[in-house]
Structures are given as structure tokens and as C-alpha cells.
Amino acid sequence: MGGGRKVVCQAFTTGYIMEIFLQLTLSGLSQGAIFALIALSLTVVYRATTIVNFGHGDFVMAGAFFVYVLVIYAGLPYLLSSVLAILIMFVMGLGVSRGFIDPIKSGPHIGFAMMSISLGYVLRGGARFLWGREVFPMPRIFDMEPIFIGELVITGDVFFVSLIVAILLSVFFFIFYRTKIGIVIQAVYQSERGATLIGVNVRAFHQSMWGVGLAMGAMAGILIAPISLLHPDLGATFLIRGFAAMTLGGFGSLSGAVVGGLLLGFAEQIFGFYISSTLQDITAYLIILAVLIIRPAGLFGRTITVRV
Amino acid sequence: MKFVLNKLSIGVVFLSALTVVSGVQASDTTGLTDTTIKVGVMGPFTGNASSYSKTQIGLMAYFKHINDQGGIHGRKFEIFPEDTACAPAKGIAAAKKLVHQDKVFYLHGNSCSAVAMAVKPTVSPTGIPWIIAHAVNPKISMPVNEKKSIYHGVPAGPAYGSTMGEFVMSKPGTKRIAMITHTNDWAKAYCSPAIEVIKAKGGQIIEEQTLERGQTDATAQVLKLKQAKPDFILGCLYEAETVIFLRDAKKYGLKSPVMGTAGTDLENTLERLGDKDAVKDYYVLHAFVDKVNGPKMKKWNDIILKYNPKETITGFSAVSMASGVAAVKALKAAGRNLTRSKFIAELDKIRGLKTGILACDITWTASDRHGCKKSAVAGFVDGNPTVLSAWGKAW
């Protein structure tokens, strides 16, 4: 009985409640950082080409598998393997755009969706064919002694993932808003016709954005695989979360994708702890439903008014 | 005219009877030649549950081993592997192919309970002997089907689940049990019988948490469980989610011991976590008489590696070989004039068969087709993987 009373007392201490909340927040933001990266990579392609890449989850998985191959089979260091995998995925993005998207540009828009789904499944099938019977552990690269602040635990996973994503996002937004390349990208985003008139090669731009999108997706895969496990179905879980983050932040909004991802990660933890863990898995769907009904443009999306 | 019609009718009846009799005889020996026994082996050779197909790899290696020993009464196994991808629709197609196109003598194998349950309406009416060598849903083989042709050669859910419950309650002072599970039938097949045993022994379930497949973080679940302060945790989770749960449990200082299912194994869980400290309080159902790479398992592992040199031995590899041993015993007993009926009759005579592989003896009767009634448990004792029969008690 004494033990039971102690549990109750501890459970209702303000400090304890605060510690739990902070722990959930930290974990949520760390997971959300990955969702943000995936949502941002989806948005980069969507903003440039108006194509929603339904196969993106599998490109995330492919990036992680490239690192696995380079580390395990080629014996390269993890960091070098990651850089090479990101480059490979960038080139793959260029190839996807040139080889699979450009040829169907004159067709119906649904063709893009079908193409991206098909490409994703081909990648997944290929991975299953090559590694189908195993679930692989990735090298533990985020190991460090946990930092304790009272009962609050900051582990290597949380620390490094949050830090790396923060650096990547800072670099991305710096390039986007503070460099000439970024200004060109913004120009094409605003008006493709205008950009063409000032000499921008819009076709090459689309291809580059596919490359950037896939490379950023690969970064997410590279960060998540050492924390979870690597398997061909890894990306499916993240695709729907990427969509939910995009929806919450506002379709086409780069900063919205990031905020949406972080909020989704946080919401999953809060739903899972304070309501029910059975709801955790459907948090992304609940957010999509709620946002589309209450505020279809999302938090940062622009409401487009068409005058007829 | 009437006489002719009568004669014709008698002739038709006679021919029909002859056809039926010969048909029965033909179907009773379908899949047999003078030199071969055709056996269909269904398993998830592709897909995200394909790590389970190691059990079929092991079973097929055993059949090849028997062939190399000279076969059974002059016949050798002709193996027909079929992929189910752990998907019911694909499983049904595989079963139809084996039954109607390949015309196998009997079926042996099957991981994935959902596939076996989906396949059952196709296979059961044919009366083809079918030995379930890995899937755990008890309803696959019991109640006994109308043709009395289906057998379970591994512990089914109730046997595994009750072992989990028995082990948890064997720890002195255990009263408060928490659970973390998937919400599918597979998890229920383990956890429901475990809960029954726990409640019957005076334990209570104080917290239930869900971790669905594909989730990559268990912070919320672990913090809830930590708050509940359980004496033991039942973990009905697949491999990947088990790793994520144990990782987060260590991260947030959840120190209660965890009892896992046969869907995971100790060595692989350790390999995937890469952290001995995170698995030191993890206990898992262990079907075998020894550690996966223990001396008693060497003979069986060597057979697998002889025919599959690149195979990695895991806790799944030898599971199905035990029912292979039982099948071979029955085939030998049925003699050279083998039929499906004789094979079934001999399977029903198997009593207390010590396969040297599974921790349970196999016993089949005409009214009870759950051949294995118990399992061992594996856990780390003093840092070493150890096979246990109860808390602190070596097998």
C-alpha cells in the first residue's frame, strides 16, 4: 500500500508532471525534426513542379540503404557514406525528373501521381528483392552518455538529430533567402514565365529541385535509420507524416512544412501519453482531417482566391 | 427397351462407383511416385515478414538431409516451395497452385497466422495432410477439421501465451503486470492466454499500452509504463518495435523486466540493439531445448548450413525442423504402400516425441492436434543467454 501511495504522490507532483511534459516535448521535437525534413523535401518538389511525390517515403528508405551498403559492404566511414548517399540521391532525383517526369509532362496530372507511386514501389520491391529477409541494424552513430537535468533525459539520438536537422534547415533557409541561387529559386516559384524571360532554364530548375528534394529525403532516412531499424518498408511510415506536416503547415509553404513537422512530432507524443497510445498512430490522419476542415490552407499556406 | 435401359442404368451406376472408388484411391496417393514424395512448403520468402522464412529454409534443409540419407522407403522428398509474402491473397494462390497444379502429397510449413487462416478454407476440404510448422493461431488446427487432416507442429498461441504468463508469475512477489502490444490478432494470440494465466495466479493488469507497427518512438508508452511501476511487462511486439521499445525503456530508466513473444529472439534483439544493458532484463519465448547456437542445436544448425552455407542462424531457423522429424517418423511408419490416410493415421499415433529441437514433446491424437503444449524461455543470466523453465531456474 505504501508503495502505491508513493506512486500516486509522485504522479501528482507539479515537478514530476512538468518533467514528463518536457520529456515528451523533447522526444516529440526530435521526431518532429525528421518529419519536418521530409515535409520540407516534399514541399521543395511540390513548390517547383506542383507534383506531390507519393513515392517519397521509398526515396527516404533508399537513401538509408545506400548508406548501409557503403558502410557495411564498402567499409566507408558513416559520414563519408552519408555524403555519397546524398549525392547519389541528388543524381537519382535528376534522373527521375529527366527520365520519368519530363516525358509525361503533356499528359494528365494524375500521371505524375501514378508515376511517383510506381517509382516508390519499384524501389521498395528492389530493396525487398535484395534484402527482403532481414531487418538491419545501422551503426549507432548517435551514442553519447545521456545528459540528465533532474529526471529529464537528453539522449544522443535526441541531441544529434535535433542539432543536425537544425543545421541543415539553417543552411537551406540561408541559401533560399540570402544567396543569388535562392533568389533565382524564389523567382521561379513566383512566376515560371517571368523567370524564363530573364533567362532562367526552368526545365533544369525542375530537375534540380527533384534532386534537392530526394537528397533532403535521403538525409531524413540517414538520420532515422540508426535510431529505428533499416528495412524496405521504412519509408511508408514517414510519407503520411510528411503529408500531415505539409497539410498542417500549409501546402507549398517551406517554413510551414518545418513548423508542421515539429508540431506533428509533439502532437503524437501528447496524444500518446495524455489520451491513448492507440491514438498515436493515427495522429497524422487526425491532423489532416482537422486542418482540411477547419483551415484548409494550413498555418502558413496562402488562401488563393480565383476571380471569375 | 426397358431391359436395355435397366442394363444401361446398372452400367452407369457401376461405372460411377468405379470412378468414385478409383478417384478416392488416386487422391489418396496423389503426389506420390515410386521414387518421390511431393511436399508443398509455403512461407513468406519475400515481404516485410520474410525473416520468418528462415523456418522454411530450415525445414527444406532437413528434407534434403533425409534425401541424402537415402529417403524414406525408396522415396525422396520433392520440395515445392511457394511464397506467400505473409499476405492472405498470395497465400491462397500459393495453396491452390500446390494442391491443384503441383498436386503435392502433403503441405508443410506456413508462417503468418493470417495467411494460414485464409488458406484453411481452400486446403481443409481437400483432406490433404497439412502440418503447420510455425504460425501460432490455435484455430488453424483446432477444433479438428472435417477431414481430420491439419496438425500444429509448434506451440500454438495458448501454449506460448500461458508459458509467458507462467514465467512472469514465477518471479517472486509479482502482482502488478503492464502490457505493451500491437493491436492485431497475432499479438492477441500471445497476450490473451498470458493474461488468463496471470489473473488465475492472482496478478493484475495495471496498465495497457499500444505500439503499432512501423512506429519509431516509444517515449509516451515508456513514460506511462514507468509511471505505473509494474513488476513485469508483457511485450507482444514484433522484432523492430521490440527493439525500439527496449531502447526507449533503457533511455528513460524503465527497469521492470519484459517478457516477449516468439516473434523475437534474444540474440537478434541484442544484435539489433547493440547494447547489452538494454536487453539484460528482456525474457523471450524460446522454443528450443538449448540456446540458438548451443551444443544441442549444433546438429540441426549444421544441417541448415550444409544446404544453405550463407544462411545466418537465428531463433527462427530450426523451429520447423521439429515437425519435419515428426512427419518423417510417420512416413516411415506408414510403410512403402504409403497413402494420405495411412500418413494421417501414423501422425495420430505420435506420442511424446522428443525431437531434440523443441523444448516440448510432440503428441498428436485424432482429437487434439496441438502437438506442443509448452515452451521454454530465454534470458540473460549473468550476461549469458540462458534457457529457463521459470524465473531463475535453468531448463
Residues with Cβ < 8 Å from A68, sequence gap 6 or more? A136, A138, A225, A230
Residue to test with chain A: of B55, B86, B223, B270, most A Cβ within 10 A: B223
Q: Does A231 touch chain B (CB under 8 A)?
A: yes
Average pLDDT, chain A: 88
Phi and psi at residue B75, to the nearest 5°: -110, 145
**DSSP-H helix ranges across chain A:** 2-11, 14-49, 56-68, 78-96, 110-131, 156-178, 180-190, 192-197, 202-224, 234-249, 254-270, 277-280, 283-294
Q: Identify residue B269 by its one-letter amino acid code.
A: T
Let me know the angle formed at the C-alpha of B150 by B117 and A134, rounded to the nearest 5 degrees.
55
- pLDDT for the residue B6: 59
Q: Please give the angle made by the CA atoms of A44, A49 and A55, to the nearest 5 degrees.
A: 70
Residue B202: per-residue pLDDT: 96
What is the Cα A113 distance to its own chain's centre?
19
Which residue of B84, B210, B216, B264 to mutate against A (max A Cβ within 10 Å)? B216
ipTM of the complex: 0.81
- Chain-chain contact of B219 with A129 (C-beta, under 8 angstroms): no
Kindly state the DSSP code that residue B37 receives in the 8-state scheme: E
- The reply to whether residue A132 touches residue B274, judged by beta carbons under 8 angstroms, is no
Sign of the alpha-carbon torsion through A257, A259, A265, A269? negative
User: Is it the case that residue B4 has pLDDT exceeding 60?
Assistant: no
User: Is the Cα dihedral B57, B63, B65, B68 positive or negative?
Assistant: negative
Is B144:B198 a contact under the CB 8 Å cutoff? Answer: no
Provide the number of CB pairs (under 8 Å) joining chain A to chain B.
Answer: 102
Whether residue B375 contacts residue B152, with contact meaning beta carbons closer than 8 Å, is answered with no
**What is the tens place of the pLDDT at every residue in A89-144?**
999 999 999 999 999 988 898 999 999 999 999 999 899 888 865 678 887 777 77
pLDDT tens digits along A281-296: 899 999 999 999 999 9
Phi and psi dihedrals of B386, rounded to 5? -135, 140
Q: Could you tell me if A22 lies within 8 Å of chain B, comparing CB atoms?
A: no
Buried b / exposed e along B133-154 (16+ C-beta atoms within 10 A): bbbbbbebbbeebebbbbbbbb
Q: Which residue does chain B place closest to A282, by CA atoms?
A: B212
Contact predicate B295/B270, CB 8 Å: no
Residues of A in contact with B48 (CB under 8 A): 128, 231-233
The 10s digit of each residue's pLDDT in A70-95 is 999 999 999 999 999 999 999 999 99
CB nearest to B223's CB, from A155, A271, A273 = A273
C-alpha cell at A174: 540561408
CA B371, B374, B378, B382 dihedral sign is negative
Q: From chain A, pick out residues whose CB is under 8 angstroms from the CB of B54.
A: 133
Give the C-alpha distances (Å, rounded to integers) separating B213 from A1, A132, A241, A280, A288: 37, 17, 15, 11, 20
- Reported pTM: 0.78
The verdict on B84 touching A (C-beta cutoff 8 Å) is no
Q: What is the pLDDT of residue A307?
A: 62
On whether the CB atoms of residues B56 and B81 are closer than 8 A, the answer is yes
DSSP code per residue over A180-198: HHHHHHHHHHH-HHHHHHT
Q: Which residues on chain A are in Cβ contact (under 8 Å) with B313? A: none
Q: What is the DSSP letter of B178?
A: E
Residue B229 touches chain A, beta carbons under 8 Å? yes
- Give the residue from A253, A252, A231, A249 showing the smallest Cα distance to A241: A249
> Is A27 touching B (CB cutoff 8 A)?
yes
Cross-chain residue pair A153–B53, CB shorter than 8 Å = no
What pLDDT shows up at residue B9? 57
Report pLDDT digits (tens) over B312-346. Answer: 898 889 999 999 999 999 999 999 999 999 999 99
**A141-182 residue pLDDT tens:** 777 778 888 778 888 888 899 999 999 999 999 998 999 988
Over residues B5-62, the pLDDT tens digits come to: 555 555 555 544 444 444 444 479 999 999 999 999 999 988 767 788 999 999 999 9
> pLDDT tens digits for B167-183?
999 999 999 999 999 98
Within 8 A of B220 by CB-CB distance, chain A residues are 24, 27, 268-269, 271-273, 277, 280
Q: Is A129 on the interface with B (CB under 8 A)?
A: yes
Phi/psi of residue B292, each to 5°?
-55, -40
CA distance A212 to chain B (A): 25
What are the tens digits of pLDDT across the range B107-130? 999 998 889 999 999 999 999 999
Mean of per-residue pLDDT scores for chain B: 90
